[in-house]
């Protein structure tokens, strides 16, 4: 149940407390506040999060990368140089892929393409690890319906094709 308080300015302060979640916002019109409160309560009931922006704006893998980056910065853990570079590369390669098309086949195709470009098994392992982390983050934190299982299966397939694995290490000179 939302609480509505009229402020001295004439604006309305709306507070929603539900399932240990708390959100508040100020509105000029009470009606706007009532609509917002109802939406917040529904979001909390559906996925435990009051963040409505996520479900509306996230349509591609690039959106997931941005969301992951934003969330990590919000908690004071921005990606360092290496992770930022990998995330930028992933966004360039897979950023326009719609979430519904982000399946095992598409990820295997991505891995094969990266291998043809010269990426070694360890590099591809890192790429696949970050893809799965980004997908898992979106599903766990924001309740976005995207399957991390597809990324896991793609990694298994790429491992069987010897495209994902450990580093070959430094080459020995005879």
Q: Does 57-160 carry CATH code 1.10.3470?
A: no
pLDDT one-digit tens code per residue, 151-170: 999 999 999 998 888 876 66
The pTM for the full model equals 0.66
pLDDT at 6: 93
Which is nearest to 56 in space by CA: 141, 134, 144, 131? 144
End-to-end CA distance of the chain: 76
Angle between helices 121-142 and 81-94 (to 10 degrees): 80
Task: Please state the domain extents for the chain.
Answer: 2-50, 57-160
Lowest-confidence region among 7-11, 103-107, 141-145, 156-160 = 141-145
- In the prediction, which pLDDT does 48 show? 62
Residue 78 pLDDT: 87
Residue 17 to residue 123: CA distance in whole angstroms: 45
CA distance 8 to 50: 27
Strands 21-27 and 12-18: antiparallel
Which residue, among 36, 30, 35, 39, has the nearest Cα to 11 in the 3D structure? 30
Per DSSP, 72 falls in state H
The pLDDT tens digits for 18-40 are 877 778 888 889 998 898 888 88
pLDDT tens digits for range 41-81: 887 777 665 555 545 578 899 999 998 988 888 778 888 99
């Amino acid at each position: 149940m939302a609480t509505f308080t009229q402020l001295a300015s004439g604006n309305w302060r709306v507070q929603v407390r539900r399932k240990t979640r708390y959100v508040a916002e100020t509105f000029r019109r009470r009606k706007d506040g009532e609509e917002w409160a109802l939406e917040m309560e529904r979001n909390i009931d559906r996925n435990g999060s009051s963040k409505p922006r996520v479900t509306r704006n996230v349509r591609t893998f690039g959106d997931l990368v941005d969301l992951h980056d934003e969330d990590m910065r919000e908690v004071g853990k921005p990606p360092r140089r290496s992770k930022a570079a990998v995330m930028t590369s992933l966004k360039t390669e897979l950023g326009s892929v719609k979430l519904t098309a982000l399946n095992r086949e598409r990820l295997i195709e991505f891995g094969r393409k990266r291998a043809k470009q010269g990426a070694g098994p360890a590099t591809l392992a890192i790429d696949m690890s970050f893809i799965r982390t980004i997908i898992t983050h979106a599903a766990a934190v924001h309740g976005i319906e995207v399957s991390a299982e597809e990324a896991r299966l793609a990694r298994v397939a790429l491992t069987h094709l010897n495209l994902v694995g450990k580093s070959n290490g430094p080459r020995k000179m005879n």
